[in-house]
Chain A
Amino acid sequence: MSIEVNGKSIETDEEGYILNLSDWDEDIANELAKEEGIDMSENHWEVVNFLREYYDEYQIAPAVRVLTKAIGKKLGAEKGNSKYLYELFPYGPAKQACKIAGLPKPTGCI
């Protein structure tokens, strides 16, 4: 499977997660978000950028608690909770935000 962005074909898995992490750029993120029905705001980008930074360091997406804490520090305590993240990413911050950030889907009993 693949998606078309700027005339380039980007390979994805069955669920739309991009296969090569290095393919990712902001246009692709916008396209992936569009397919999820999400209009990327500055706050969405804060989450996506944090996920990518964390992944760079640890080769895995952060735990939801780590993410909420980081977002709370950046955007204010009232936004440092999973309710806020679900408002941004209704299908669940871990999976949906990872998809848009171009990261592999978290696996396990989650």
Chain B
Amino acid sequence: MAKLDFDLPKLGPNLEIPVLQPDAMLGDGPFVAKPDHQDKLGFPGELVDDWQQVAIDKMGELLGKYRSFKVYLDSCVKCGACTDKCHYFLGTGDPKNMPVARQDLLRSVYRRYFTFAGKHFPKLVGARDLTEDVLDEWYNYFHQCSQCRRCSVFCPYGIDTAEISMAARDIMDAVGKGQKYCNEIIGKVHKIGNNLGLPEPALIDTLEGLEEDIKDDTGIDVKLPVDVQGAEVMLVTPSADFFAEPHIDGLIGYAKVFHQAGISWTISSYASEAANFGMFIGNYENMRKVSQRIRTAALELGVKRIVFGECGHAWRVAYSFLNTLAGPFDFLDNRYPVPQHICELTNDLIGRGALNLDPSANDDKVVTFHDSCNVARASRMGDLPGGQFEIPRAVIRASVNRFVDMADETIRDRTFCCGGGGGLLTDDLLELRAKGAMPRVQALQQVVDDHGVTHMAAICAICKSQFSKVLPMYGLPMDMIVSVHQLVGDAIQLGTKD
């Protein structure tokens, strides 16, 4: 592993509230989008001349559109419940990474331009002018929020810092100061259909290679079909599943599930991405445009069901917003959830005895599960409350014999972010990512020590990539992080039912 040029927080037996380190994470923020990246998304290429007025107008527009945004800005009583709940605060000690302080970066400007007291007596109410320094501060600290919403679970008013950080990013894009990582990626989705910029021939070549691998491993012809007209299911999965490790083993797992259950399915080369970074930048138009690809592909292929692969924020967009962004989906088979999560599909098949799983195939592992934030706190699965927690665990338990949960206060709706969510999974934020992973890694290390846990499963492409990168920094093996459907794929006994 390459040498780090920063100090990692120490993992203790308990998660300690750090000593405050003001300005520890002061900086210029991640790389700024180039004019070319901005242009493709409909944003100005660089900071516009009258940026201050544009920003205030944009804030006014968002306040008018989103009642929640205004309520969040008005209702904080500074109780402090959120202060020690953010993984970036816990990992960096920078007080501006306390959720309330992050909100106040924007709230202070809101007060100055949109409240009576702030307009006339700014000093009395902590209102401040929107200066270039303030804009720079926004850029830096609103790119230190992974929009994981853990703080909102503890806020007595339910203030959602994620929504404030999304609004801040939308305002910054409107004035021409976007983030390179997110905006370059969204441009690729608009042009090619996925975050990687993976064109159709490369997608097909990759999937054919995987079919060969499965055949070599199992002797069975398992297909990974692309653009099959009239297939029952269209699988929409993060493009990282086609490209990265350990994601690709999850993709192989989905294929084996479809194969054994005898469900005809296809991937679309047009909608070859589940992720929707339009949400990370808080921009409705881009989020909608990305979502529309899924609708178009489903109609063109004539499928009956849409199933989402393992991708955290994609599932939030799919579960919570897809119907309004790209619906109505009255052309799909409404006997199934629209859309359906791959874990729901697999769990349902397990319940009906349609899969033959031998958990002893995973006896070399003791597995724990990392709840991904957008699945845990912004969506649901199945028919029962808490299904988003129980269904993935049920799938894992059916596939492995030894499963252990991490500490209660770090799982389910109180799960800690991996440290790379919300559009921060970029090398220019590596220090933040490494430090922000500390609370999760602390809980993981505890079950490694106490229960001999060897693997952590997840259902989010970002979580998987982030952990592959940061676990080795904390002395844990890179390949400790696995896809839930890798476990399924290894347990499934092909050739016994088909």
Residues of chain A touching chain B, judged by Cβ–Cβ distance below 8 Å, are 14-15, 37, 57-60, 62-66, 69, 82, 86, 90-92, 94-95, 106-110
Q: Is the CB of A109 within 8 A of B2?
A: no
- Contact indicator A65/B248 (Cβ below 8 Å): yes
B188 to chain A, nearest CB (A): 7
In the complex, chain B residues whose CB is within 8 Å of the CB of A91: 2
Residues on B with C-beta less than 8 A from A108 are 185, 194-196, 238-240, 243, 275, 461
User: Can you list 7 A-B contacts with CB-CB less than 8 angstroms, sorted by A residue number?
Assistant: A57-B201, A63-B244, A63-B248, A90-B1, A109-B244, A109-B275, A109-B425
Type the 1/0 row for B420-459, where 1 means its CB is closer than 8 Å to any CB of A: 0000010110000000000000000000000000000000
From B134-142, B204-212, B335-343, the one touching the partner chain is: B204-212
With known contacts A58-B202, A66-B206, A107–B245 Cβ distance under 8 A: no
A-B contact count (CB 8 A): 86
A109 in contact with B238 (CB, 8 Å)? yes
Residue of B whose beta carbon sits closest to that of A54: B202
- Residues on the B chain within 8 Å of A107, using CB: 181, 184-185, 188, 195-197
Determine which residue in A14, A37, A110 has the highest number of CB atoms from chain B within 10 A of its CB, and name it: A110
| Cβ–Cβ < 8 Å partners of B181 in chain A | 107
Q: Of all chain A residues, which has the CB nearest B249? A: A65
Looking at chain B's contact residues, the main secondary structure is helix
Taking A58-B202, A107-B195 as known contacts, 8 extra A-B pairs with beta carbons closer than 8 A to each other, sorted by chain A number, are A65-B245, A106-B243, A107-B181, A107-B185, A108-B195, A108-B240, A108-B243, A110-B196
> Which residues from A are CB-within-8-Å of B89?
none
Do residues B205 and A109 form an inter-chain contact, with CB atoms below 8 A? no
| A58-B205, A60-B196, A63-B248 known; A110-B428 Cβ under 8 A | no
Minimum distance in angstroms from A2 CB to a CB of chain B: 16
Q: When chains A and B are docked, how far (Å) is the Cα of A92 from the Cα of B245?
A: 11
Q: B157 at the A/B interface (Cβ < 8 Å)?
A: no
CB-contact partner of B244 in A14, A15, A86, A94, under 8 A: A94
Closest chain B residue to A91 by CB distance?
A: B2
Query: Is B333 engaged at the interface, CB distance under 8 Å to the other chain?
Result: no
Q: Is B121 an interface residue (CB 8 A)?
A: no
Residue B269 is within 8 A (CB to CB) of chain A in the complex: no
* B219 interface residue (CB < 8 Å to A): no
> Roughly how many angstroms separate A60 CA and B238 CA in the complex, as a whole number?
17
Chain A contacts for B1, CB-based, 8 A: 90
- Assuming the contacts A107-B196, A108-B196, asked whether A64 and B202 have C-beta atoms less than 8 A apart, the reply is no
Known: A109-B195, A110-B196. A64 touches B248 (CB 8 A): yes
- Asked if B427 contacts A63 (CB within 8 A), the reply is no
Contact of A14 among B31, B209, B461 (CB under 8 A): B31
Chain B residues with CB below 8 A from A65, complex form: 206, 209-210, 213, 245, 248
Closest residue of chain B to A96, judged by CB? B2
User: Complex: how many Å from CA A109 to CA B209?
Assistant: 21
- Those 7 A-B pairs whose CB atoms lie nearest each other, nearest first: A108-B195, A109-B461, A58-B202, A109-B240, A110-B244, A63-B243, A108-B196
Q: Are B462 and A109 in contact (CB under 8 A)?
A: yes
Residue-wise interface mask of B (460-489) relative to A, using a CB-CB cutoff of 8 A (1 in contact, 0 not)? 011001000100000000100000000000
Q: Among A15, A57, A63, A94, which residue has its beta carbon within 8 angstroms of that of B206? A: A63
Pairwise interchain contact B240-A110, C-beta atoms closer than 8 A:
yes
What separation, in Å, do the CA atoms of A1 and B458 have in the docked complex? 38
Shortest Cβ distance from residue A108 to the other chain B in the assembled complex, whole angstroms: 3
**B residues 208-258 with Cβ under 8 Å of A?**
209-210, 213, 238-240, 242-245, 248
How far apart are the CA atoms of A106 and B469 in the complex, in Å? 15
Is B198 an interface residue, CB under 8 A from the partner? yes
In the complex the two chains form, what is the Cα distance from A29 to B184 in whole Å? 25
Instruction: Return chain B residues, CB-CB under 8 Å to A109.
Output: 195, 238-240, 244, 275, 311, 425, 461-462, 465
Closest to B199 in A: A59
Distance in angstroms from B387 CB to nearest chain A CB is 24
Interface centre among B1, B242, B243, B425 (most CB of A within 10 A): B243
User: Chain A nearest CB: distance from B382 CB in Å?
Assistant: 25
Alpha-carbon distance between A65 and B213 when the two chains are bound, in angstroms: 10
- Chain A contacts for B311, CB-based, 8 A: 109
A43 to B2, CA, bound (A): 19
A66 to B184, CA, bound (A): 25
The residue of chain B having its C-beta at the shortest distance from the C-beta of A37 within the complex is B2
Give the docked Cα–Cα distance between A63 and B428 (Å).
22
Beyond A64-B248, A65-B206, A65-B210, is A110–B465 a contact (Cβ under 8 Å)? yes
In whole angstroms, what is the CA distance A63 to B210 when docked? 11
Taking the nearest CB of chain B, how far is it from the CB of A59, in angstroms?
Answer: 6
The CA of A65 and the CA of B449, in the complex, are separated in Å by 32
Give the shortest distance, in Å, between A24 (CB) and chain B (any CB). Answer: 19
Smallest CB separation, A49 vs chain B (Å): 18
A15 to B430 CA separation, bound complex (whole angstroms):
13
Chain A residues within an 8 Å CB radius of B240: 108-110
Question: In the complex, what residue of chain A is closest to B200 when comparing beta carbons?
Answer: A58
Do A90 and B2 touch (CB < 8 A)? yes
Nearest opposing residue in chain A for B239, CB measure? A108
- Please measure, in the bound complex, the distance between the C-alpha atom of A110 and the C-alpha atom of B264, giving whole angstroms: 29
